[in-house]
Amino acid sequence: MDMGAQGTYRIIQNQGQGAGGMMALAASKAPPGTPPHWVSYVEVDDVDARTGRVEGLGGRVMSAPFDIPNVGRISVIADPTGAVICLITTMPDG
């Protein structure tokens, strides 16, 4: 999947169904020295509402909610210990 300036997002499939994805992290999106890493996504009912609660619960919003065409809406957050996870609300059939 072409993500424009961010590069190509590769879909990982299991028996023809999307099961994950990966892409190179653009240098402009990561601090110098950021090592290769994985991040998990948690499906939520409303990315904007859930992301809006993060800071009040002691976490940090690393990337405000944004849309991925034909996929859904995503945000990147860190819990109070610094562990990073993504929140996603997928589009129907996304």
Please report the pLDDT score of residue 88 as a whole number: 94
Please report the pLDDT score of residue 46 as a whole number: 96
pTM, two decimal places? 0.73
Is the CB of residue 72 less than 8 Å from the CB of residue 91? yes
Please report the pLDDT score of residue 93 as a whole number: 65
- Report d(CA 84, CA 69) in Å as an integer: 23
Domain residue limits, the chain: 1-30, 39-94
39-94 has which fold? 2,3-Dihydroxybiphenyl 1,2-Dioxygenase; domain 1 (3.10.180)
CA 33 distance to own-chain centroid = 20
Please report the pLDDT score of residue 12 as a whole number: 84
- pLDDT < 70: residue spans in the chain: 27-28, 93-94
Please report the pLDDT score of residue 92 as a whole number: 78
Please report the pLDDT score of residue 55 as a whole number: 97
Pick from 84, 87, 91, 67: which is nearest to 18 by CA?
A: 91
- Report d(CA 65, CA 61) in Å as an integer: 9
